[in-house]
């Protein structure tokens, strides 16, 4: 999934982004409200992480404006402000959760995952297509009961195909879902990932090429 983090402390921002990317997420990083507003206008995010106080103002101002415009992506606030009234103000301004600094990375990751599930359309934790099974809670994939180890990007692409099972998924959709603006993926990166998935998942292939459109995960075996 794609995540935006707005945090002006460079080392903390890098550490959070690194941890999120390590489990297969794509992460866009900004350090100001101005940058955050630009990114929010040009991309859809599964979860947004805001530092409360940024160099050009309080992020609650942008959050209120964003919510008033009808945007509904879940927002997690990171802040050193730990008074009850600060938390109440953040939640009343449109935040979905509040995490006080310093925090444990494991807790942040857990909260992000909860918010992503809350903001996404309801779906089963375990996705099944033919004899393929994806456990989105554990990030595990099995075919015919046999565990298949996948790299984070491979899992992200397969999960997108599984969620949209039977429908064509375009190259742009794959890149938007699995890569952030800093990744600068190669021109054929999605072809490489698809080829690797086909090899690892084995025969008969469940990933079909839809000419002129992209790829789909289809239970109908050729």
The tens digit of pLDDT for each residue in 62-80 reads: 889 888 887 888 999 998 8
Over 70: is that where the pLDDT of 183 sits?
Answer: no
Cα-flanking dihedrals φ and ψ of residue 84, to 5°?
-55, -40
Task: Mark whether 92 and 24 lie in a shared domain.
Answer: yes
**Averaged pLDDT for residues 175-184:** 65
**pLDDT of amino acid 152:** 83
Greater confidence (139 vs 145) lies with 145
Q: Single out the residue in 119, 147, 174 at which a domain terminates.
A: 119
Greater confidence (209 vs 182) lies with 209
Q: Is residue 20 part of a domain?
A: yes
Structure tokens at 82: 């730990």
Structure tokens at 40: 């929010």
Q: Is residue 222 part of a domain?
A: no
Task: Mark whether 114 and 138 lie in a shared domain.
Answer: no
Task: Mark whether 168 and 207 lie in a shared domain.
Answer: yes
Over 90: is that where the pLDDT of 137 sits?
Answer: no
Q: Is residue 170 part of a domain?
A: yes
Structure tokens at 216: 């789909």
Task: Mark whether 113 and 179 lie in a shared domain.
Answer: no
Assign 114 a pLDDT band (cuts: 50, 70, 90). Answer: confident
Over 60: is that where the pLDDT of 211 sits?
Answer: yes
Gyration radius of the chain's alpha carbons: 19
Task: Mark whether 151 and 83 lie in a shared domain.
Answer: no
Task: Mark whether 13 and 92 lie in a shared domain.
Answer: yes
What's the whole-number average pLDDT of the chain? 85
- CATH number for the domain spanning 155: value is 1.10.10.10
For residues 48 and 167, what is the distance between their CA atoms, to the nearest angstrom?
28
Sign of CA dihedral 97, 20, 157, 28: positive
Q: Is residue 167 part of a domain?
A: yes
Over 60: is that where the pLDDT of 123 sits?
Answer: no
Over 80: is that where the pLDDT of 184 sits?
Answer: no
Q: Is residue 162 part of a domain?
A: yes
The DSSP annotation for 92-122 comes to HTT-SEEEESS--HHHHHHHHHHHHHHHSPP
Task: Tell me which residue has tokens 């509040």.
Answer: 98
Task: Mark whether 71 and 158 lie in a shared domain.
Answer: no
In angstroms, the Cα distances linking 205 to 55, 128, 131, 208, 220 are 51, 15, 11, 7, 10
Q: Single out the residue in 101, 119, 137 at which a domain terminates.
A: 119
**Averaged pLDDT for residues 187-200:** 86
Percent above pLDDT 70 for the chain? 91
In angstroms, the Cα distances linking 154 to 52, 163, 177, 191, 215 are 34, 14, 12, 11, 14
Task: Mark whether 110 and 24 lie in a shared domain.
Answer: yes
For residues 89 and 113, what is the distance between their CA atoms, to the nearest angstrom?
23
CB 153 within 8 A of CB 193: yes
Task: Mark whether 139 and 104 lie in a shared domain.
Answer: no
Task: Mark whether 101 and 137 lie in a shared domain.
Answer: no
For residues 89 and 131, what is the distance between their CA atoms, to the nearest angstrom?
48
Task: Mark whether 179 and 206 lie in a shared domain.
Answer: yes
Q: Single out the residue in 75, 91, 119 at which a domain terminates.
A: 119
Short-list 181, 172, 184, CA closest to 38: 181
Name the residue range of residue 9's domain: 2-119
User: What is the number of structural domains in the chain?
Assistant: 2
**pLDDT of amino acid 212:** 83
Give the tens place of pLDDT for each residue, 30-61. Answer: 999 999 988 888 778 889 999 988 999 889 98
- Three-class SS of residue 206? coil
In angstroms, the Cα distances linking 72 to 20, 57, 120, 200 are 21, 22, 10, 37
Contacts of 174 (CB under 8 A, 6+ apart): 157, 160, 190, 193, 214, 215
Q: Is residue 33 part of a domain?
A: yes
């Amino acid at each position: 999934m794609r995540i935006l983090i707005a945090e002006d402390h460079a080392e903390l921002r890098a550490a959070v982004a690194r941890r999120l990317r390590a489990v297969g997420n794509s992460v866009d990083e900004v350090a100001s409200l101005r940058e955050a507003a630009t990114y929010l206008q040009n991309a859809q995010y599964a979860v947004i992480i805001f530092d409360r106080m940024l160099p050009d103002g309080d992020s609650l101002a942008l959050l209120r404006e964003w919510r008033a415009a009808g945007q509904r992506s879940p927002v997690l606030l990171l802040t050193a402000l730990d008074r009850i009234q600060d938390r109440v103000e953040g939640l009343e301004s449109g935040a979905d959760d509040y995490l006080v600094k310093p925090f444990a990375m494991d807790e942040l990751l857990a909260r992000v995952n909860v918010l992503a599930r809350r903001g996404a359309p309801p779906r089963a934790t375990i996705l099944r297509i033919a004899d393929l099974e994806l456990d989105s809670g554990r990030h595990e994939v099995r075919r015919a009961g046999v565990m298949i180890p996948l790299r984070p990007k491979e899992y992200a692409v397969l999960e997108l195909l599984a969620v949209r099972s039977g429908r064509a998924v375009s190259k742009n959709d794959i890149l938007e879902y699995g890569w952030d603006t800093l990744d600068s993926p190669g021109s054929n990166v999605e072809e490489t990932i698809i080829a690797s998935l086909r090899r690892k998942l084995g025969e008969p292939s469940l990933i079909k090429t839809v000419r002129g459109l992209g790829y789909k995960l289809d239970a109908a075996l050729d």
